[in-house]
């Protein structure tokens, strides 16, 4: 049985990073709890990998501090930071066996050979590759290589795991399996983990908390459930969710959201000339023509398995509605869409800010 670490806190303290005139990170401040699984989520170019590389010591911050435990490691070399990094490309030595790859960090530290062997076997069994120790990376599948990389990171028992899109090279089925393995492994070891991805499903399923970045700015830091159900702004609302949140353009006067062919009563109250009404596909339903919050016609239907996605064409928007799996309707049929008032979001179309 692998012993559980106590975990250490990690702090990004007002981290800024610029490459020339391009600012990649803007005053990023994050407190990662001991033993927490924190996911940095964002599109390509959002600054998430740069933040991870600054934590690892592979990039230097333009300003700000990095703390691991009670140590300020901002100026400390990577090898003295007590972190293990798992890369997207696995970064295995092709001329070394699986056992040699896993044990390499201990060999560098001149750990006695008997201790190395025991630790290699323990780490390999943790990710279920103890039968592959004599093979070379070229003889392994993508999933097996990823497990070797994880075992090599684990063997050092670092203070912090850093993972840069480690599952992105795997097929969908294996990705799902490895997500479960990773979550179980991190929970069992209790090691503070910072994980970078652009995949919202990975973020929502793995993280204790998610930090969403856009153009180097932290948009929201919270639990997956809170981010999904209580998004801070329009960017977060549209970024999280599959299918994404529906958006309807119009204006807000008091509690009335007005669009071309409907007036919808909402809970937030205000005066916004250019407003956006947001509603998730599962929070609306298809009803008979002439009923519901807004009128439209069926654009297309997609049977997903346990539900049917109905795309509805309204006066100037397309909405996605999650309907029962036995829903029947033909393209062009006139219908209504009922939107549940307690699950409607209102945003300022110009600033993206949410009206509460």
Residues 6+ apart with CB under 8 A from 268: 252, 255, 346, 355, 356
- Regions of the chain where pLDDT drops below 70: 1-6
From CA 164, how far away is CA 87, in angstroms rounded? 5
**Same domain, yes or no, for 196 and 297?**
no
Same domain for 159 and 41: yes
Question: Residue 3 domain-assigned?
Answer: no
pLDDT, residue 1, reads 41
| 318 lies in the same domain as 281 | yes
Per-position DSSP letters for 223-266, written without gaps between them = -HHHHHHS-SBHHHHHHSSSSPPEEEEEEEEEEEEEETTEEEEE
Using one digit for the tens of pLDDT, what is the confidence trace for 158-176? 899 999 998 887 778 878 8
Check whether residue 330 and residue 250 sit in a common domain.
Answer: yes
- In this prediction the pTM is 0.88
C-alpha closest to that of 54 among 205, 204, 216? 216
Between CA 253 and CA 258, with CA 256 as vertex, the angle to 5 degrees is 85
DSSP-assigned beta bridge partners for residue 318: 313
**How many separate domains does the chain show?**
2
Q: Is residue 175 part of a domain?
A: yes
Residues 257 and 232 in one domain: no
Residue 275: phi and psi, rounded to 5, are -120, 165
Residues 216 and 287 in one domain: no
Residue 1 within a domain: no
Contact 12, 55 (CB under 8 A): yes
Q: For residue 66, give its domain range.
A: 10-239
Cβ-Cβ contacts under 8 Å for 70 (sequence gap 6 or more): none
Q: Examine residue 4 and state whether it is found in any structural domain, yes or no.
A: no
The enclosing domain of 323 has a CATH number of: 2.40.50.140
Whether residue 191 sits in one domain with residue 143? yes
Residue with tokens 């979001």: 345
User: Is 229:307 a contact under the CB 8 Å cutoff?
Assistant: no
Contact by Cβ (8 Å): 186, 179:
no
- 215 and 68 inside one domain: yes
Q: pLDDT (tens digit, 9 = 90+) per residue, 283-330?
A: 999 999 999 999 999 999 999 999 999 999 998 889 999 999 999 999
Residues 351 and 318 in one domain: yes
Q: Are residues 96 and 219 both part of a single domain?
A: yes
User: Are residues 221 and 256 located together in one domain of the fold?
Assistant: no
Q: Of 181, 213, 239, which closes a domain?
A: 239
- 186 Cβ contact partners less than 8 Å away, ≥ 6 residues apart: 37, 161, 193, 206
Please choose, from the candidates 84, 155, 161, 99, the residue with its C-alpha nearest in 3D space to the C-alpha of residue 130: 99
Q: Is 195 found in the same domain as 276?
A: no
Query: So what's the pLDDT on residue 189?
Result: 86
Look at residue 178 and give its three-state secondary structure.
helix
Q: How far is residue 63's CA from residue 171's CA, in Å, rounded to a whole number?
A: 39
Question: Residue 6: its pLDDT value, please?
Answer: 67
């Amino acid at each position: 049985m692998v012993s559980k670490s106590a975990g250490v806190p990690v702090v990004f303290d007002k981290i800024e990073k610029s490459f020339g005139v391009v600012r990649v990170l803007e005053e990023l401040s994050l407190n990662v709890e001991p033993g927490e699984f924190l996911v940095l989520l964002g599109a390509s170019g959002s600054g998430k990998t740069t933040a991870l590389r600054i934590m690892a010591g592979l990039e230097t911050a333009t300003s700000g501090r990095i703390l691991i435990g009670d140590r300020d490691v901002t100026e400390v070399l990577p090898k003295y930071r007590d972190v293990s990094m798992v890369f997207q490309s696995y970064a295995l030595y092709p001329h070394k066996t699986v056992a040699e790859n896993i044990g390499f960090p201990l060999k560098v530290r001149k750990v006695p050979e008997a201790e190395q062997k025991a630790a290699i076997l323990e780490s390999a069994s943790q990710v279920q590759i103890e039968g592959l120790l004599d093979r070379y990376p070229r003889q392994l599948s993508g999933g097996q290589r990823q497990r070797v990389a994880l075992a090599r990171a684990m063997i050092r028992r670092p203070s912090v795991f850093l993972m840069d899109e480690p599952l992105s090279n795997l097929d969908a089925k294996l990705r799902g399996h490895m997500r479960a393995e990773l979550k179980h492994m991190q929970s069992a070891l209790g090691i503070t983990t910072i994980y970078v991805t652009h995949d919202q499903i990975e973020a929502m399923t793995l993280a204790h908390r998610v930090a969403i970045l856009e153009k180097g700015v932290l948009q929201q830091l919270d639990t997956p459930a809170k981010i999904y159900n209580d998004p801070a702004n329009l960017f977060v609302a549209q970024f999280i969710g599959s299918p994404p949140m529906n958006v309807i353009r119009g204006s807000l006067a008091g509690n009335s959201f007005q669009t071309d062919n409907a007036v919808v009563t909402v809970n937030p109250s205000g005066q916004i000339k250019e407003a956006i009404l947001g509603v998730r596909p599962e929070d609306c339903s298809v009803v008979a023509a002439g009923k519901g919050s807004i009128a439209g016609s069926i654009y297309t239907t997609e049977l997903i398995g346990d539900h049917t996605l109905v795309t509805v064409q309204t006066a100037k928007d397309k909405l996605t509605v999650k309907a029962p799996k036995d829903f029947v309707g033909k393209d062009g049929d006139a219908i209504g869409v009922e939107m549940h008032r307690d699950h409607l979001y209102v945003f300022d179309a110009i600033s993206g800010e949410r009206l509460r």
